[in-house]
Structure 1
């Protein structure tokens, strides 16, 4: 539809230049041309709209919206004005409003491919599949000769679950082709494989197999053809054909376990026949690990011992450092674990008995093959005794130290010192573990793995400055924001998470929250990044990969790293809600013995402490700004550093709405990870503090359905029942719903009896259960307004008892220490007893 105010030929030419400059990102030239038009036609709506769009590209968003609204006032029926208005909203990620604007633009220009394309991209981004189907259908009707339009419509039906229609769309396009595409046409190859993928997903495997045979010679991805053929034949119970197909695949790749599993099913193997086929495969592929390793998963008794003996001889005689890594999956079976230990110990005795210079080798420099075998046999046993199911630190250290004495060369030393660092970490001495990991790194400074691993250990020891310097060896040099800025730009999630958790341990909650919010921003970026791939994948024809990406994005927010950051952030915000003073400077370091006991201070002293903490925080910010300015001067070119108005995260920590901030993290957890227990228990805590009792109950019931005997769930049941016992003022509707749904409360006896019964049934070997019972006791005592000395003494004795249990882990012992400090119990005695059990752990070291 033409504009309400037509332009003269000269200005019309300028307007075309404006569009061209926008497309080529020459925004200043575009604005100059737009101003020339507006001098003669100041109320020309489409030019005003383009001016707003160009200004928005320069970062002036508010001005851009004002100009765009003015453009709409001047020309309400212009598709350009509405399209620009949608683009502005899209740039602000307000996709709902952008979609509305695009639909208005289509009312005035229904055949515009560009508007339809932009609308379709937003609809798939928002997972509006019905709207996406309609947009793609209109694009096909408008330009049926373009293959991308047909493929896009098939994808729309596929993602919406209509597989039959998706297949029909692809078939209709194929019928329009006058001659078949050449074999070199990658887009056609991907499209026909995608069609086969859809047929198989619909469950018609015979049809999929027939179609596969038709396209086999045309498709470029031969591995996909071979794998699909074997899979379809197996599902159709064409076992002889499936066997041949899987053997062809094994000839290509002897280490892929899925091929062996498929071959087993096609042969219907059981018992001796199953063992025999793997013996044949091991002979056929003598260098392959999988046919020798897989039988260890299903063999038992003497058969397992014989196979394990062969496997260990083969691996250990080659001095393979990864032998334990390959076998540790078997350690859940006690018999197999003990068998492997005895076999390796026997192998070690045999190697020790051999004469050192039997083959004329020079052993003075550790270069003998026999010496390497001995070293990595000792290395295996050190890892064996360090395994979490065994955790015999003394034996693990004995074996690894003996191996180190025999391995003076740099290559072996690096691997072995890495193993030593891991043992020390598991034993609780993170400081010594960091030192040993740094020693391993020094053996090969060019090895990225050693450097990143060392950085992780430094963070575990709360040496953040050393960690970032080590990471800086492999980040972009002379980056204006330093190594951390480069790691944030590269979205190095593991480092940012570890850094944040380190600051939590140090009580630097502002910095911790800053790191966790950086994680949130990274996940938002990953969500937004898919936007470009909606069009890119169609242009390149990579449809199968695109479908996988879309489905991966659908589960993105359930990623373990997001969960980790979310739970940490929620805990911090709940803590800051209860103790706001922890957000202020040095008061946040309330974890050591020299920390200010803020709770015991008078009101006047609290004010003084707060003022002092704020002054210290201001000094730190000033020092950081000066250091940043100095670093900028030293950098080549004097590039501008991105301004950070909250370098220490003080604003994040000192928020006036900590529960609202916690809720921001909770919503993705509950939406995308409903079966994540910690997410549900965190939801209960947040909603109880926000006085949203029905939502809290919903989370509690969900957590109970996931793990009815979980200690945290038990504690929360007790707390919720305690809340109900206090007879809160609830609306009749809320009270009725609670009465009808809260059926997991104790039916008989008092709440105290319910708590002690849980202790009797779960507290014998479960430290977490004991902690839960103690917390429930404290809540009961607080509700009664008093705490008996006998009850406090009994809870303290429980912590000492659980400390002596073999099932109690080092981490649980540390948690018990934290509880004892809160209870103001006998910390000295606790640390002394813990030190006798975990002598290596530096967390229980006596304070100087």
Structure 2
């Protein structure tokens, strides 16, 4: 047993222990030496000094002193405990356990020794020993909940699940008052008990316990997840689906909620049933699963197995169009859609499968529609339009396929054909024909697509005419709410009225408006930058027309605009005249049907603001809107507003290629026009423009950006534009670098077209060879052959 000390030295010994616990090792050594000065063979003090020395990194000396301590007092539990601690520090756990057991024999009631022993036992996976230790600790201190939980864990680890559950149940029975609902420890204990029940295989009991004891558990997520799991295991599919839907609503990004061990079997049964019936929407129903790569890979394998088996032909149900290969054609159709989908794109495989499907079922509208989509993705708008027209002729009463055919014609710049196609479903009696009816019907997708087609053709007046029509539609919607302010209140339809008001508040952040507005702003920017061709309403300056031709076109445009103005002035004091066609309704005459006056504007940036202002107000999180805002304001020399747009765009995506360009251009503009900027504005600009490191030159900034994004085509092109802007003498090198992007593995034909247009805008000699390389890389695409 420990050697006795007088009161003063006993106090000093307690100081040694406290110094060790507080990591005040020097003080501890000093206090121990004071005791040992009078009691040089006091085992406990020698042991504590050894422990402190070990903490100081003097391992060998500590072990030596620890042995001396044991020799001085073999019956001291402190000496044995310390000896065990030294071995534990040296990671010799077997010897440490032996020492702890010796210490525990000498001091059976020591909770500290018992705890250290138990920790080493579980570390060594000595579950039997750990269980004995935990039973003893519970016996000694049964009032501590932690000891009950620890014993349950010991039983659990030892494979005694039922006994572990029983320990927790026994503890619950000792409670005089129910625990607080905010008691985290109890909350965790309840969930742990539930896991024990489930692990024993009694899923129904686990579910019952979960819905009773864990009803108000603090870990709501765990409760929801377990409930969904238990319901699925019990075969209660409807309830399980609801439970998982709740989880998905909480966290739609957590893929585990979508996964199931039986997914392949379930998918196989579903696909076989749907393919047997030839359901066209099978792929559309499943493509949301493609965000999960494993499921994306499983589905086509199942479909291919379906094709390879005889099952697709062994179907006795009535066939579409009398075809006996309905299952096979549906399977090929699925695979065609799979390989055409952007997450699993392989256009050659898609085309091969859709051809097989059409061979089996040549009159299927859906199959031809998908084939047209595949050719669209190839970049062949002409072939896509032709095939979509074939699909339309297979069912001339289908408005959907009629609309698709018109859209594909517009994408191929067949504007007159598209109007004729749409005219099959417009009112014949409408004055002005199909186009007027489409305006009346507020068919914004057509107006937008038509405008963008005219823009591609260089017919800027007609393009602006269409985009202005879209703008006017939203104006009509804005005005239409007026009557509802009194009507809704009078009729008591308050909720509907409030909903309408909130909808109107965000009217112009609608994608239809954004698309048309951004396109219109782009045209006005083009008109501003190339004023000599701004009113041609025909082919613009994209192909490098000479100055004489451009001046001639501009003169013609001005004459047309002046004529339109004279006609408008002559009719100013006359009542509005109207015209009638057949028995149709009266319509006011449009004094600018081709948009000549719109394209002949002398203030394109002012006109652009009509479209830009609503974009910036209602779509502030659109990086495209902020980029467009910068382009307009920098040309108007509204530098504070340009900076505001630039900062907003940079906050949305500082690495965006256009944002990178605009940072450099803003810096150059400020250096050039600094004297014209008011002092107060200049001060604000200097304090807010922090997008460029002060110590970095523009060339270095651009080179670093190019190096960082050398695998991105868009970023590379932007950096090369900037390089040519900063150093015109590097033009030849920049042209060669632009031409080199064709070698980047990630390049798409759209990006290649942008690169070709850039080379042509620079009148580069590299353009011809680049076009040839692009045509060879995408032989099915027509976008390069159309750029003459």
TM bin, normalised by shorter chain, reads 0.5 to 0.7
What's 2:745 paired with? 806
What's 2:530 paired with? 579
Q: Is the 8 A contact 1:361 1:368 kept in 2?
A: no
Q: Is the 8 A contact 1:366 1:372 kept in 2?
A: no
Matched residue of 1:840: which SS? Answer: coil
Q: Is the 8 A contact 2:627 2:659 kept in 1?
A: yes
Does structure 1 residue 845 correspond to structure 2 residue 782? no
What's 1:217 paired with? none
Deviations 1:676-729 (A, max 9, x none): 111111111111111111111111111111112111111111111222333621
Does structure 1 residue 401 correspond to structure 2 residue 389? no
- 2:264 alignment partner, one of 302, 305, 308: 305
Taking a change above 3 Å as real, the CA distance of residues 271 and 747 of structure 1, as seen in their structure-2 partners, is farther
Counterparts of 1:694 and 1:362, CA distance in 2: 70
Counterparts of 2:770 and 2:460, CA distance in 1: 28
- 2:772 alignment partner, one of 805, 808, 832: 832
The Cα of 1:755 is off from its aligned counterpart by 0.4
Taking a change above 3 Å as real, the CA distance of residues 497 and 425 of structure 1, as seen in their structure-2 partners, is same
TM-score (normalised: structure 2): 0.65
Does structure 1 residue 367 correspond to structure 2 residue 367? no
Question: How many pairs were matched up?
Answer: 552
Matched residue of 2:583: which SS? Answer: helix
- 1:388 alignment partner, one of 307, 326, 342: 342
What's 2:383 paired with? 432
Counterparts of 2:523 and 2:279, CA distance in 1: 44
Counterparts of 2:535 and 2:302, CA distance in 1: 58
Taking a change above 3 Å as real, the CA distance of residues 723 and 432 of structure 1, as seen in their structure-2 partners, is same
Counterparts of 2:761 and 2:735, CA distance in 1: 11
What's 2:554 paired with? 610
Q: Is the 8 A contact 1:621 1:647 kept in 2?
A: no
What's 1:559 paired with? 510
Matched residue of 1:726: which SS? Answer: helix
The Cα of 1:581 is off from its aligned counterpart by 2.2
Taking a change above 3 Å as real, the CA distance of residues 416 and 717 of structure 1, as seen in their structure-2 partners, is same
Counterparts of 1:620 and 1:377, CA distance in 2: 59
- 1:345 alignment partner, one of 289, 304, 313: 304
Worse overlay, 652-661 or 312-321 = 312-321
CA RMSD across the alignment: 3.4
Q: Is the 8 A contact 1:577 1:659 kept in 2?
A: yes
What's 1:450 paired with? 401
Q: Is the 8 A contact 1:835 1:841 kept in 2?
A: yes
Q: Is the 8 A contact 2:561 2:597 kept in 1?
A: no
Q: Is the 8 A contact 1:297 1:330 kept in 2?
A: no
Q: Is the 8 A contact 1:680 1:699 kept in 2?
A: yes
Does structure 1 residue 272 correspond to structure 2 residue 229? yes
Structure 1 segments, 4+ long, off by >6 Å, are 263-266, 282-285, 294-297, 359-363, 615-622
After TM superposition, list the pairs within 5 Å mapping 1:239-254 onto structure 2: none
- 1:752 alignment partner, one of 690, 699, 706: 699
What's 2:331 paired with? 377
- For structure 2, the 5+ residue unaligned runs are 1-209, 243-247, 567-577
Taking a change above 3 Å as real, the CA distance of residues 576 and 405 of structure 1, as seen in their structure-2 partners, is same
The Cα of 1:274 is off from its aligned counterpart by 5.7
Taking a change above 3 Å as real, the CA distance of residues 756 and 346 of structure 1, as seen in their structure-2 partners, is same
What's 2:197 paired with? none
The Cα of 1:638 is off from its aligned counterpart by 7.2
What's 1:668 paired with? 614
Taking a change above 3 Å as real, the CA distance of residues 444 and 471 of structure 1, as seen in their structure-2 partners, is same
What's 1:779 paired with? 725
What's 1:255 paired with? none
Counterparts of 1:239 and 1:283, CA distance in 2: 14
What's 1:154 paired with? none
Q: Is the 8 A contact 2:369 2:388 kept in 1?
A: yes
Counterparts of 1:283 and 1:724, CA distance in 2: 62
Matched residue of 1:479: which SS? Answer: coil
Counterparts of 1:644 and 1:728, CA distance in 2: 46
Deviations 1:778-811 (A, max 9, x none): 3213xxxxx22xx334333333333233322222
What's 1:769 paired with? 715
The Cα of 1:299 is off from its aligned counterpart by 3.7
What's 1:324 paired with? 283
Taking a change above 3 Å as real, the CA distance of residues 268 and 639 of structure 1, as seen in their structure-2 partners, is closer
Deviations 1:148-196 (A, max 9, x none): xxxxxxxxxxxxxxxxxxxxxxxxxxxxxxxxxxxxxxxxxxxxxxxxx
The Cα of 1:847 is off from its aligned counterpart by 7.8
- 1:646 alignment partner, one of 592, 608, 611: 592
Does structure 1 residue 491 correspond to structure 2 residue 431? no
TM-score (normalised: structure 1): 0.60
After TM superposition, list the pairs within 5 Å mapping 1:351-750 onto structure 2: 353=310, 356=313, 367-368=322-323, 371-408=325-362, 410=363, 413-585=364-536, 588-591=539-542, 596-598=545-547, 601=548, 607-612=551-556, 635-637=581-583, 640-726=586-672, 728-729=674-675, 730-750=677-697
Counterparts of 2:392 and 2:637, CA distance in 1: 52
- 1:795 alignment partner, one of 710, 734, 750: 734
The Cα of 1:552 is off from its aligned counterpart by 0.8
Worse overlay, 654-663 or 264-273 = 264-273
The Cα of 1:657 is off from its aligned counterpart by 1.1
Q: Is the 8 A contact 1:459 1:499 kept in 2?
A: yes
- 1:820 alignment partner, one of 759, 767, 785: 759
Taking a change above 3 Å as real, the CA distance of residues 495 and 355 of structure 1, as seen in their structure-2 partners, is closer
The Cα of 1:614 is off from its aligned counterpart by 5.8
Worse overlay, 810-819 or 503-512 = 810-819
Q: Is the 8 A contact 1:458 1:464 kept in 2?
A: yes
Taking a change above 3 Å as real, the CA distance of residues 323 and 355 of structure 1, as seen in their structure-2 partners, is closer
Deviations 1:46-74 (A, max 9, x none): xxxxxxxxxxxxxxxxxxxxxxxxxxxxx
The Cα of 1:619 is off from its aligned counterpart by 11
Taking a change above 3 Å as real, the CA distance of residues 534 and 613 of structure 1, as seen in their structure-2 partners, is closer
Q: Is the 8 A contact 2:385 2:405 kept in 1?
A: yes
Matched residue of 2:783: which SS? Answer: helix
Counterparts of 2:211 and 2:594, CA distance in 1: 64
Matched residue of 2:344: which SS? Answer: coil
The Cα of 1:818 is off from its aligned counterpart by 1.1
The Cα of 1:591 is off from its aligned counterpart by 4.0
Counterparts of 1:338 and 1:597, CA distance in 2: 55
Matched residue of 1:747: which SS? Answer: coil
The Cα of 1:648 is off from its aligned counterpart by 0.8
Taking a change above 3 Å as real, the CA distance of residues 666 and 355 of structure 1, as seen in their structure-2 partners, is closer
What's 2:85 paired with? none
Counterparts of 2:292 and 2:260, CA distance in 1: 11
What's 1:16 paired with? none
Q: Is the 8 A contact 2:564 2:597 kept in 1?
A: no
Taking a change above 3 Å as real, the CA distance of residues 664 and 273 of structure 1, as seen in their structure-2 partners, is same
The Cα of 1:267 is off from its aligned counterpart by 5.6
- For structure 1, the 5+ residue unaligned runs are 1-237, 244-262, 286-290, 623-631, 782-786
Counterparts of 2:650 and 2:406, CA distance in 1: 39
The Cα of 1:584 is off from its aligned counterpart by 2.5
Q: Is the 8 A contact 2:447 2:466 kept in 1?
A: yes
Counterparts of 2:473 and 2:486, CA distance in 1: 22
Deviations 1:231-251 (A, max 9, x none): xxxxxxx989xx9xxxxxxxx
Taking a change above 3 Å as real, the CA distance of residues 296 and 755 of structure 1, as seen in their structure-2 partners, is closer
Counterparts of 1:711 and 1:383, CA distance in 2: 32
Q: Is the 8 A contact 2:579 2:586 kept in 1?
A: no
The Cα of 1:511 is off from its aligned counterpart by 0.4
